[in-house]
Amino acid sequence: MNARTEEKSWIEQMGRIAVLMGGTASEREISLKSGAAVLNELLRMGLYAEPFDPAERAISELSSFDRAFIVLHGKGGEDGVMQGVLESLKVPYTGSALLASALAMDKLRSKQFWEGAGLPTPPFRLLQRGCDLAEIVEQLGLPLMVKPVCEGSSIGMAKVDTVEALRQAWEVASEYEGEVIAEQWVEGAEYTVAILGDRALPMIRLQTSHRFYDYEAKYSAEDTEYLCPCGLNSEQERQLQQLAHSAFSTLGCSGWGRVDLMVDQAGSPWLLEVNTVPGMTDHSLVPMAASAAGLDFQQLVLAILEASYEAGN
């Protein structure tokens, strides 16, 4: 079989691919950008790919596809909902399966799983109606991070320095669906570790002039810095990569994703969250880490796609 015949056979084997993008979550615009980048790369490879926006097309239409490349960020795409739909339709898809996607999307459950597994994550309290905010501040100290547990891209998050600010931030975060937690603030350096298959890619250190790495710092600020190499020695980086991989696998995640963590001033690491459908634009962190590992964007997209074929979920 010559190379051209093998290539044609591979393209046919991959079949018709739905690039799931857009959706109705708060991260819709970022998803559309990520999806467009992935779609263009698949088309450059000669694959039969087309965009599929669940906000504009009936979900039942997915049954006509041979596999799906999920680039839906947030609710409806990263939380197990779309994974469940695709499994019911018997359509292979990229990334983590239903349960792992749901767990990783839920910051509260992720942290509970990590605590049960003995992995380090900042102490936290669930904010509920009637709870004593002053007592929570006494237990965790100040400042605190307030987080809606099921939002991505730092949406609804706030750093607070007083009990009253905690109350106000809770009210804002409560406008989003799901629960809200207050998490002990970690003073130190923030890193992200991209996971591709069984491999942790080179780490990236994030530096921002903002109070924390918020939505604006991620998507519009011009002074946010992404350092890769991250500045750690090889042994320190290896240890944190192993921790990130453990955090990823503890939740049952697979295929690809990204683990965010911090290292405090005493050198202790703290796990923050796992993203099972990270950004895939030319400015996103996973493509940046892949490039540092010697993989161009096409190779990254192909590796993610082929993992869906091999695993079949």
The catalytically annotated residue of 48, 219, 226, 309 is 219
Which contiguous run of DSSP H or E holds residue 140?
helix 133-140
The model's pTM is: 0.92
pLDDT value at 3 more than 80: no
275 carries an active-site annotation? yes
* Buried-state track 182-208, b at ≥16 Cβ within 10 A, e below 16: bbbbbebbbbbbbbbeeebbbbbbbeb
The catalytically annotated residue of 74, 80, 257, 279 is 279
What's the pLDDT band for 181 if we cut at 50, 70, 90?
Answer: very high
pLDDT for 33 equals 95
Q: What is the pLDDT of residues 182-227, one digit of tens each?
A: 999 999 999 999 999 999 999 999 987 655 554 554 555 566 789 9
What's the pLDDT band for 309 if we cut at 50, 70, 90?
Answer: low
pLDDT for 63 equals 97
DSSP 64: G
231 or 283, higher pLDDT: 231
pLDDT value at 110 more than 70: yes
pLDDT for 312 equals 47
Cα–Cα dist 196/198, whole Å: 6
40 carries an active-site annotation? no
66 carries an active-site annotation? no
Nearest to 303 by CA among 193, 191, 201: 201
Nearest to 194 by CA among 155, 158, 245, 154: 245
279 carries an active-site annotation? yes
The amino acid occupying position 44 is R
233 carries an active-site annotation? no
CA distance readout (Å), 143 to 57, 62, 180, 301: 44, 46, 16, 39
Is residue 100 within 8 Å of 251, Cβ to Cβ?
A: yes
The catalytically annotated residue of 96, 183, 273, 313 is 273
pLDDT for 231 equals 96
87 carries an active-site annotation? no
Q: Mean per-residue pLDDT for 152-156?
A: 65
pLDDT value at 257 more than 70: yes
DSSP 25: S
Residues with Cβ within 8 Å of residue 251, at least 6 apart in sequence: 96, 100, 103, 104, 110, 113, 274
Q: What is the pLDDT of residues 31-64, one digit of tens each?
A: 999 999 999 999 999 999 999 999 999 999 999 9
269 or 154, higher pLDDT: 269
Radius of gyration of the chain (CA): 20
The catalytically annotated residue of 23, 26, 27, 95 is 27
Q: Mean per-residue pLDDT for 108-117?
A: 97
Nearest to 82 by CA among 97, 61, 103: 97
The catalytically annotated residue of 275, 284, 308, 313 is 275
Q: Mean per-residue pLDDT for 167-178?
A: 89
The catalytically annotated residue of 41, 110, 258, 284 is 258
